[in-house]
Amino acid sequence: MVQADTLFEVYQEARQRAPHIDSRSLARLLDTSEGDIQAARLGRGVTTLAITPCDLVMLLPRLGPLEVISQAPHAVLASRLDACRVTGNRHHASLGDDHALAVQLLLPSWYWVALSREQPQERDEVLPCVQIFDRFGRVLHRLYLREPSRARLTLLDCYRTDRIPSFARCIETTTEPNLPADRQLLTEWRAMSCDDDFAALLHRHQLSRLDACRAVAGHFSQPITTQHFVLALERLCVHRQHTEVSLLNGAGMHAHCECFERFQRRCPDSLSLQSNALTLTLDSDSLAEAWLVTRPSARGLTSHLEAFDAQGRLMVSLGSA
């Protein structure tokens, strides 16, 4: 409790000195997790929701218009939707709308659900926010109630409890890829017809997406400089090209098809692409590699721009919609 009180005092002082600092930046500065910061605020603006992942997912359509934010180590994708539909089972769920949103949720990755009041973006109004964390204190999703009402908040209030989470430290591990012969991999690549085939290929050979890009370089992929990747993002906004944006984290995939309209350098190390329904934010300092990749799909050959950090983790994938 002493540690939580100390962290809460640091949080309070940081917000007084820099009111617009977000918990993600603060956690990085303090070398802690966002979950630890939110847990330190329990009873002081944050409440635990004792709700199972399945129950929470099934409750979402009743919460009205939402802003769904998914977070990866160096990227954030925010979708605004007026209504949603849910399908799934005990382990997986899909959240979508009638237009362009598809969020695949891996429910066993959810560890702690918290309710608080936060700002979705700087200068936005403060809204009720349901935050979902994994067991390492990493934020997986944030769900903002864009039109909160007493009836909608009552749906959440009945799950309030004083449970305190106990997060674990995350130790990064690597797996050596099991690369097949070049000819075999290219044959399997050509035989793909959907995203599930691509996922199966990665799993079969224990490949990361970056391993796969490197393995088929000169055939189905080519490296591009990070500067050219950023220029490509600017062109997407200039030409308002219909784009499918995909962000992956430890709890699934968040994909949204949209025409970006605005490109901003929010600060020296942050890039933002925006439309009325979608916002993508990238930590540009973490861009280490970028690739142009071609994969067979149900629509024929599709091209994707994929960006990776120094650890080889996918930051974001952008493809023609």
In a domain, 194, yes or no: yes
Three-state DSSP class for 106? strand
Q: Which of 93, 128, 161 is the last residue of a domain?
A: 161
CA dihedral sign, ordered 128, 257, 52, 111: negative
Q: Is residue 117 part of a domain?
A: yes
Residue 8 inside a domain? The answer is yes
Inside any domain, residue 166 = no
Q: How confident is the model at residue 165 (pLDDT cuts 50, 70, 90)?
A: very high
pLDDT at residue 167 tops 70: yes
Verify that 188 and 248 share a domain, yes or no. Answer: yes
> Do 205 and 185 form a contact (C-beta atoms < 8 A)?
yes
**Does residue 200 sit in the same domain as residue 302?**
yes
Task: Give yes or no: residues 232 and 306 share one domain.
Answer: yes
- What pLDDT digit, counting tens, does each position of 184-218 carry? 899 999 999 888 899 899 988 888 999 999 999 99
Domain count, the chain: 2
Read off the CATH number of the domain in which 221 is found: 3.40.1570.10
pLDDT in tens, 58-90: 999 999 999 999 998 899 999 998 888 888 777
Q: Please give the structure tokens belonging to residue 195.
A: 């995203």
Question: 122 with 258, same domain?
Answer: no
* pLDDT at position 99: 61
For the residues 215-224, what does the mean pLDDT come to? 94
From 132, 161, 190, the end of a domain falls on 161
Identify the pLDDT of residue 127: 94
CB of 37 closer than 8 Å to CB of 88: no
6-54 pLDDT per residue, tens: 888 888 888 788 777 777 788 888 888 999 999 999 999 999 999 998 8
167 lies in some domain? no
Q: Which residues lie closer than 8 Å to 308 by C-beta, 6 or more apart?
A: 209, 210, 287, 288, 289, 290, 291, 314, 315
Q: Give yes or no for a contact between 288 and 297, defined as CB atoms under 8 angstroms apart.
A: no
The answer to whether residues 157 and 188 belong to one domain is no
Residue 124 has pLDDT above 90, yes or no: no
Q: What's the domain range around 214?
A: 182-320
CA distances (Å), origin 175, targets 171, 172, 178, 188, 206 = 13, 10, 9, 21, 7
Residue at 91 is within a domain: no
pLDDT of residue 286: 93
Decide if 170 is inside a domain: no
